[in-house]
Structure 1
Amino acid sequence: MNAMTGSKDFAIDPKALRQTLSCFPTGVAIATTLSRTGDPVGVTISSFNSVSMDPPLVLWSLARKAGSLPEYRAHPGFAINILSAEQAELCKLFASAERDRFSGLEWTAGTHGVPCIAGCAASLECETHAVHEGGDHEIFIGRVVAHMSSEKTPLAFGKGQLGAFTVD
Protein backbone atom coordinates (compact mmCIF):
# COMPACT_ATOMS: atom_id res chain seq x y z
CA MET A 1 0.00 0.00 0.00
CA ASN A 2 1.25 3.48 -0.82
CA ALA A 3 1.87 5.94 1.98
CA MET A 4 -0.58 8.77 2.42
CA THR A 5 0.59 11.96 0.76
CA GLY A 6 0.10 15.53 1.87
CA SER A 7 1.58 17.93 4.37
CA LYS A 8 0.65 20.02 7.39
CA ASP A 9 -0.63 22.80 5.11
CA PHE A 10 -2.71 20.25 3.18
CA ALA A 11 -1.08 21.05 -0.17
CA ILE A 12 -2.47 18.46 -2.56
CA ASP A 13 -0.97 17.66 -5.95
CA PRO A 14 -3.97 17.73 -8.35
CA LYS A 15 -2.46 15.09 -10.64
CA ALA A 16 -1.83 12.70 -7.74
CA LEU A 17 -5.32 13.36 -6.37
CA ARG A 18 -6.87 12.56 -9.79
CA GLN A 19 -4.95 9.27 -9.80
CA THR A 20 -6.20 8.44 -6.30
CA LEU A 21 -9.80 9.31 -7.19
CA SER A 22 -9.59 7.08 -10.28
CA CYS A 23 -9.55 4.10 -7.91
CA PHE A 24 -13.25 4.72 -7.28
CA PRO A 25 -15.08 3.56 -10.41
CA THR A 26 -18.12 5.59 -11.39
CA GLY A 27 -20.94 5.36 -13.84
CA VAL A 28 -20.85 7.61 -16.87
CA ALA A 29 -23.69 9.89 -17.89
CA ILE A 30 -24.52 12.81 -20.11
CA ALA A 31 -26.25 15.75 -18.42
CA THR A 32 -28.51 17.51 -20.92
CA THR A 33 -30.57 20.69 -20.99
CA LEU A 34 -31.68 23.31 -23.49
CA SER A 35 -29.81 26.50 -24.31
CA ARG A 36 -31.43 29.89 -23.93
CA THR A 37 -32.15 29.70 -27.69
CA GLY A 38 -33.77 26.24 -27.39
CA ASP A 39 -30.89 24.17 -28.75
CA PRO A 40 -29.94 20.89 -27.02
CA VAL A 41 -26.88 21.06 -24.76
CA GLY A 42 -25.03 18.12 -23.21
CA VAL A 43 -21.84 17.24 -21.38
CA THR A 44 -20.29 13.97 -20.19
CA ILE A 45 -20.24 13.63 -16.40
CA SER A 46 -19.07 11.08 -13.87
CA SER A 47 -19.87 13.25 -10.86
CA PHE A 48 -23.41 11.97 -10.35
CA ASN A 49 -24.98 10.74 -7.12
CA SER A 50 -28.25 10.02 -5.39
CA VAL A 51 -28.97 12.47 -2.56
CA SER A 52 -32.42 11.64 -1.18
CA MET A 53 -35.39 9.37 -1.83
CA ASP A 54 -37.90 11.66 -0.09
CA PRO A 55 -37.92 14.04 -1.83
CA PRO A 56 -36.25 12.31 -4.78
CA LEU A 57 -33.02 14.29 -5.29
CA VAL A 58 -29.84 13.67 -7.29
CA LEU A 59 -26.72 15.76 -7.80
CA TRP A 60 -24.00 16.30 -10.35
CA SER A 61 -21.30 18.91 -10.82
CA LEU A 62 -19.98 21.01 -13.69
CA ALA A 63 -16.70 22.91 -13.90
CA ARG A 64 -17.06 26.68 -13.55
CA LYS A 65 -14.95 27.07 -16.69
CA ALA A 66 -17.38 24.96 -18.78
CA GLY A 67 -18.80 26.97 -21.67
CA SER A 68 -22.23 25.39 -21.13
CA LEU A 69 -22.49 26.42 -17.46
CA PRO A 70 -24.69 29.49 -18.20
CA GLU A 71 -27.17 27.25 -20.07
CA TYR A 72 -27.55 24.87 -17.11
CA ARG A 73 -27.93 27.84 -14.74
CA ALA A 74 -30.62 29.45 -16.93
CA HIS A 75 -32.81 26.42 -17.69
CA PRO A 76 -35.30 25.12 -15.07
CA GLY A 77 -34.33 21.49 -15.56
CA PHE A 78 -31.94 18.88 -16.87
CA ALA A 79 -31.77 15.17 -17.65
CA ILE A 80 -29.18 12.67 -16.53
CA ASN A 81 -28.70 10.09 -19.28
CA ILE A 82 -26.85 7.11 -17.75
CA LEU A 83 -24.90 5.59 -20.62
CA SER A 84 -25.01 1.93 -21.58
CA ALA A 85 -21.85 -0.05 -22.26
CA GLU A 86 -22.35 0.28 -26.02
CA GLN A 87 -22.40 4.10 -25.79
CA ALA A 88 -18.68 4.68 -25.08
CA GLU A 89 -18.39 6.77 -28.26
CA LEU A 90 -21.15 9.10 -26.98
CA CYS A 91 -19.18 9.51 -23.75
CA LYS A 92 -16.16 10.63 -25.76
CA LEU A 93 -18.21 12.86 -28.10
CA PHE A 94 -19.89 14.76 -25.26
CA ALA A 95 -16.53 15.17 -23.48
CA SER A 96 -14.93 16.62 -26.63
CA ALA A 97 -14.83 20.15 -28.02
CA GLU A 98 -17.25 19.14 -30.80
CA ARG A 99 -19.99 21.77 -30.92
CA ASP A 100 -22.73 19.87 -32.79
CA ARG A 101 -22.95 16.89 -30.45
CA PHE A 102 -26.60 16.15 -31.19
CA SER A 103 -26.24 15.85 -34.98
CA GLY A 104 -27.69 12.47 -35.97
CA LEU A 105 -28.33 11.51 -32.34
CA GLU A 106 -31.70 10.00 -31.47
CA TRP A 107 -33.35 11.71 -28.51
CA THR A 108 -36.76 12.77 -27.26
CA ALA A 109 -37.86 15.88 -25.39
CA GLY A 110 -38.51 15.18 -21.72
CA THR A 111 -39.72 17.43 -18.91
CA HIS A 112 -39.12 21.09 -19.79
CA GLY A 113 -37.98 19.86 -23.23
CA VAL A 114 -34.63 18.51 -22.00
CA PRO A 115 -33.04 15.89 -24.27
CA CYS A 116 -33.44 12.26 -23.21
CA ILE A 117 -30.95 10.22 -25.23
CA ALA A 118 -32.11 6.93 -26.77
CA GLY A 119 -30.35 3.68 -25.88
CA CYS A 120 -29.25 4.64 -22.38
CA ALA A 121 -29.17 2.23 -19.45
CA ALA A 122 -31.33 4.70 -17.53
CA SER A 123 -32.39 8.33 -17.48
CA LEU A 124 -33.69 10.77 -14.92
CA GLU A 125 -35.55 13.97 -15.77
CA CYS A 126 -35.11 16.64 -13.13
CA GLU A 127 -36.20 20.11 -12.15
CA THR A 128 -33.34 22.16 -10.74
CA HIS A 129 -33.81 22.17 -6.95
CA ALA A 130 -30.63 24.04 -5.94
CA VAL A 131 -27.18 25.04 -7.20
CA HIS A 132 -24.23 25.32 -4.82
CA GLU A 133 -20.62 26.45 -5.07
CA GLY A 134 -18.15 23.58 -4.94
CA GLY A 135 -14.64 24.94 -5.41
CA ASP A 136 -13.90 25.02 -9.13
CA HIS A 137 -17.29 23.38 -9.85
CA GLU A 138 -20.95 24.15 -9.33
CA ILE A 139 -23.09 21.43 -7.81
CA PHE A 140 -26.54 20.98 -9.31
CA ILE A 141 -29.20 19.28 -7.22
CA GLY A 142 -32.23 18.11 -9.15
CA ARG A 143 -35.63 16.88 -8.06
CA VAL A 144 -36.44 13.76 -10.09
CA VAL A 145 -39.81 14.18 -11.84
CA ALA A 146 -39.57 11.21 -14.25
CA HIS A 147 -37.20 8.29 -14.73
CA MET A 148 -36.69 5.07 -16.64
CA SER A 149 -34.33 2.14 -16.54
CA SER A 150 -33.56 -0.70 -18.92
CA GLU A 151 -31.82 -4.07 -18.87
CA LYS A 152 -28.82 -2.55 -20.69
CA THR A 153 -25.40 -2.88 -19.09
CA PRO A 154 -24.19 0.49 -17.70
CA LEU A 155 -20.93 2.09 -18.84
CA ALA A 156 -18.33 2.51 -16.08
CA PHE A 157 -15.17 4.60 -15.72
CA GLY A 158 -12.20 3.86 -13.45
CA LYS A 159 -8.40 4.04 -13.59
CA GLY A 160 -8.74 6.22 -16.70
CA GLN A 161 -10.57 3.50 -18.65
CA LEU A 162 -14.13 2.99 -19.90
CA GLY A 163 -15.67 -0.44 -19.47
CA ALA A 164 -18.88 -2.33 -18.81
CA PHE A 165 -20.32 -2.70 -15.34
CA THR A 166 -21.10 -6.37 -14.85
CA VAL A 167 -22.51 -8.49 -12.08
CA ASP A 168 -22.41 -12.26 -11.68
Structure 2
Amino acid sequence: MSDDTELDQIESRLLRDVFGCFATGVTVVTSLGDTGRPVGLVVNSFSSVSLDPPQILWSIGLNSPSRDAFCAHEGFAVNIMGADAKDETMRFCTPAEDKFAGVDWWAGHFGVPVLRSALATLECRTEKRIISGDHEIFIGRVLRVDHQDVAPLLFHRGRFAEMGPAL
Protein backbone atom coordinates (compact mmCIF):
# COMPACT_ATOMS: atom_id res chain seq x y z
CA MET A 1 0.00 0.00 0.00
CA SER A 2 1.40 3.35 -0.98
CA ASP A 3 -0.86 5.69 1.00
CA ASP A 4 -1.24 5.34 4.77
CA THR A 5 -3.53 8.32 5.30
CA GLU A 6 -5.39 8.95 8.56
CA LEU A 7 -9.12 8.44 8.06
CA ASP A 8 -10.06 11.92 9.30
CA GLN A 9 -7.70 13.51 6.77
CA ILE A 10 -8.72 11.61 3.66
CA GLU A 11 -9.43 13.87 0.71
CA SER A 12 -12.58 13.05 -1.22
CA ARG A 13 -10.65 12.52 -4.50
CA LEU A 14 -8.34 9.97 -2.84
CA LEU A 15 -11.32 8.21 -1.28
CA ARG A 16 -13.08 8.07 -4.68
CA ASP A 17 -9.94 6.57 -6.21
CA VAL A 18 -9.77 3.93 -3.48
CA PHE A 19 -13.49 3.10 -3.81
CA GLY A 20 -12.94 2.86 -7.58
CA CYS A 21 -10.50 -0.02 -7.07
CA PHE A 22 -13.51 -2.20 -6.26
CA ALA A 23 -15.12 -3.34 -9.51
CA THR A 24 -18.91 -3.35 -9.37
CA GLY A 25 -21.83 -4.18 -11.55
CA VAL A 26 -23.85 -1.32 -13.01
CA THR A 27 -27.52 -0.76 -12.28
CA VAL A 28 -30.09 1.73 -13.45
CA VAL A 29 -32.59 2.29 -10.64
CA THR A 30 -35.96 3.52 -11.86
CA SER A 31 -39.20 4.80 -10.36
CA LEU A 32 -41.91 7.36 -11.02
CA GLY A 33 -41.88 11.04 -10.14
CA ASP A 34 -44.81 12.74 -8.42
CA THR A 35 -46.32 13.60 -11.82
CA GLY A 36 -46.03 9.98 -12.98
CA ARG A 37 -43.00 10.78 -15.16
CA PRO A 38 -40.36 8.01 -15.17
CA VAL A 39 -37.09 8.74 -13.36
CA GLY A 40 -33.86 6.77 -13.42
CA LEU A 41 -30.20 7.01 -12.54
CA VAL A 42 -27.07 4.87 -12.69
CA VAL A 43 -26.21 3.34 -9.33
CA ASN A 44 -23.30 1.11 -8.40
CA SER A 45 -24.01 1.20 -4.65
CA PHE A 46 -26.28 -1.85 -4.99
CA SER A 47 -26.08 -4.91 -2.76
CA SER A 48 -28.12 -7.88 -1.62
CA VAL A 49 -29.18 -7.69 2.04
CA SER A 50 -31.23 -10.80 2.79
CA LEU A 51 -32.67 -13.89 1.15
CA ASP A 52 -35.42 -14.31 3.76
CA PRO A 53 -37.09 -11.91 3.43
CA PRO A 54 -35.69 -11.01 0.01
CA GLN A 55 -34.14 -7.55 0.39
CA ILE A 56 -31.64 -5.35 -1.44
CA LEU A 57 -30.14 -1.93 -0.84
CA TRP A 58 -28.87 0.98 -2.89
CA SER A 59 -28.06 4.59 -2.10
CA ILE A 60 -28.55 8.03 -3.61
CA GLY A 61 -26.80 11.33 -2.88
CA LEU A 62 -28.77 13.71 -0.68
CA ASN A 63 -28.33 16.42 -3.32
CA SER A 64 -29.43 14.27 -6.27
CA PRO A 65 -32.21 15.91 -8.28
CA SER A 66 -33.90 12.48 -8.51
CA ARG A 67 -33.96 11.84 -4.76
CA ASP A 68 -37.38 13.41 -4.11
CA ALA A 69 -39.00 11.15 -6.71
CA PHE A 70 -37.57 8.00 -5.12
CA CYS A 71 -38.62 9.19 -1.65
CA ALA A 72 -42.18 9.94 -2.81
CA HIS A 73 -42.91 6.65 -4.61
CA GLU A 74 -43.30 3.33 -2.81
CA GLY A 75 -41.73 1.24 -5.54
CA PHE A 76 -38.59 1.08 -7.63
CA ALA A 77 -36.84 -1.29 -10.02
CA VAL A 78 -33.17 -2.20 -10.01
CA ASN A 79 -32.14 -2.90 -13.61
CA ILE A 80 -28.80 -4.74 -13.68
CA MET A 81 -27.23 -3.75 -16.97
CA GLY A 82 -25.49 -5.93 -19.51
CA ALA A 83 -22.33 -5.05 -21.44
CA ASP A 84 -24.39 -4.74 -24.63
CA ALA A 85 -26.46 -1.92 -23.03
CA LYS A 86 -23.59 0.49 -22.33
CA ASP A 87 -24.93 3.24 -24.62
CA GLU A 88 -28.40 3.04 -23.10
CA THR A 89 -26.90 3.05 -19.60
CA MET A 90 -24.97 6.24 -20.42
CA ARG A 91 -28.29 8.06 -20.92
CA PHE A 92 -28.97 7.63 -17.20
CA CYS A 93 -25.61 9.14 -16.18
CA THR A 94 -26.65 12.61 -17.31
CA PRO A 95 -29.12 15.18 -15.98
CA ALA A 96 -31.08 15.05 -19.26
CA GLU A 97 -34.71 16.12 -19.13
CA ASP A 98 -36.05 12.88 -20.64
CA LYS A 99 -33.63 10.04 -20.06
CA PHE A 100 -36.24 7.55 -21.28
CA ALA A 101 -36.60 8.97 -24.81
CA GLY A 102 -35.83 6.10 -27.17
CA VAL A 103 -35.43 3.59 -24.31
CA ASP A 104 -37.49 0.40 -24.53
CA TRP A 105 -39.21 -0.23 -21.18
CA TRP A 106 -42.44 -1.54 -19.74
CA ALA A 107 -44.40 -0.66 -16.60
CA GLY A 108 -43.66 -3.23 -13.92
CA HIS A 109 -44.94 -3.57 -10.35
CA PHE A 110 -46.19 -0.20 -9.02
CA GLY A 111 -45.97 1.03 -12.64
CA VAL A 112 -42.23 1.67 -12.35
CA PRO A 113 -40.09 1.42 -15.51
CA VAL A 114 -38.39 -1.92 -16.17
CA LEU A 115 -35.74 -1.69 -18.90
CA ARG A 116 -35.98 -4.40 -21.56
CA SER A 117 -32.21 -4.19 -22.12
CA ALA A 118 -31.38 -5.13 -18.51
CA LEU A 119 -29.70 -8.48 -17.95
CA ALA A 120 -31.66 -8.80 -14.68
CA THR A 121 -34.34 -6.84 -12.86
CA LEU A 122 -35.56 -6.69 -9.28
CA GLU A 123 -38.86 -4.93 -8.70
CA CYS A 124 -39.06 -3.70 -5.12
CA ARG A 125 -41.12 -1.91 -2.50
CA THR A 126 -39.23 0.54 -0.29
CA GLU A 127 -39.18 -0.84 3.26
CA LYS A 128 -36.74 1.52 4.94
CA ARG A 129 -34.70 4.63 4.21
CA ILE A 130 -31.64 5.58 6.25
CA ILE A 131 -29.66 8.81 5.92
CA SER A 132 -25.95 8.23 6.47
CA GLY A 133 -23.36 10.87 5.66
CA ASP A 134 -24.11 12.50 2.32
CA HIS A 135 -26.33 9.66 1.04
CA GLU A 136 -29.71 8.07 1.68
CA ILE A 137 -29.81 4.27 1.73
CA PHE A 138 -32.93 2.57 0.38
CA ILE A 139 -33.71 -0.94 1.59
CA GLY A 140 -36.24 -2.63 -0.66
CA ARG A 141 -38.32 -5.79 -0.43
CA VAL A 142 -37.93 -7.74 -3.67
CA LEU A 143 -41.35 -8.58 -5.13
CA ARG A 144 -40.53 -9.75 -8.65
CA VAL A 145 -37.34 -10.76 -10.49
CA ASP A 146 -36.28 -11.64 -14.01
CA HIS A 147 -32.97 -12.33 -15.75
CA GLN A 148 -31.36 -13.34 -19.02
CA ASP A 149 -28.01 -14.89 -19.82
CA VAL A 150 -25.83 -12.03 -21.10
CA ALA A 151 -22.48 -10.59 -20.00
CA PRO A 152 -22.65 -7.90 -17.27
CA LEU A 153 -21.59 -4.29 -17.58
CA LEU A 154 -18.93 -3.44 -14.98
CA PHE A 155 -17.62 -0.22 -13.46
CA HIS A 156 -13.97 0.02 -12.40
CA ARG A 157 -11.72 3.03 -11.74
CA GLY A 158 -14.26 5.48 -13.08
CA ARG A 159 -14.96 3.65 -16.35
CA PHE A 160 -17.35 1.10 -17.75
CA ALA A 161 -15.75 -2.26 -18.48
CA GLU A 162 -16.62 -5.74 -19.69
CA MET A 163 -15.80 -8.96 -17.94
CA GLY A 164 -12.82 -10.89 -19.31
CA PRO A 165 -12.53 -14.67 -19.57
CA ALA A 166 -13.30 -16.66 -16.42
CA LEU A 167 -10.27 -17.69 -14.41
TM-score by length of 2: 0.96
AA partner of residue 72 (structure 1): F
- Matches of 1:83 and 1:166 in 2, distance apart? 16
Unaligned runs of 5+ in 1: none
- Matches of 2:165 and 2:148 in 1, distance apart? 15
Aligned with residue 146 of structure 1, among 136, 144, 147: 144
- What is the CA distance between 1:166 and its match in structure 2? 4.3
- What is the CA distance between 1:3 and its match in structure 2? 3.3
Matched, 1:32 2:30: yes
Unaligned runs of 5+ in 2: none
Q: Deviations over 1:30-52 (max 9, x none)?
A: 00001111111100100000000
- What is the CA distance between 1:146 and its match in structure 2? 0.2
- Matches of 1:104 and 1:88 in 2, distance apart? 14
- Matches of 1:144 and 1:49 in 2, distance apart? 12
- What is the CA distance between 1:91 and its match in structure 2? 2.4
AA partner of residue 91 (structure 1): T
Give the match for residue 102 of structure 1: 100
- Matches of 1:102 and 1:139 in 2, distance apart? 24
Aligned with residue 45 of structure 1, among 27, 43, 46: 43
Give the match for residue 4 of structure 2: 4
TM-score by length of 1: 0.95
1:86 alignment partner, SS class? helix
Q: Deviations over 1:97-132 (max 9, x none)?
A: 211110111101111001000121101000001000
Q: Kindly, what percent of the aligned residue pairs are identical?
A: 40
- What is the CA distance between 1:167 and its match in structure 2? 4.8
**Residues 30, 42 of structure 1: 8 Å contact kept:** yes
Structure 1 residue runs of 4 or more that deviate by more than 4 Å after TM superposition: none
Aligned residues between the structures: 166
1:44 alignment partner, SS class? strand
Q: How do 1:16-165 residues align onto structure 2 when only pairs under 5 Å count?
A: 16-165=14-163
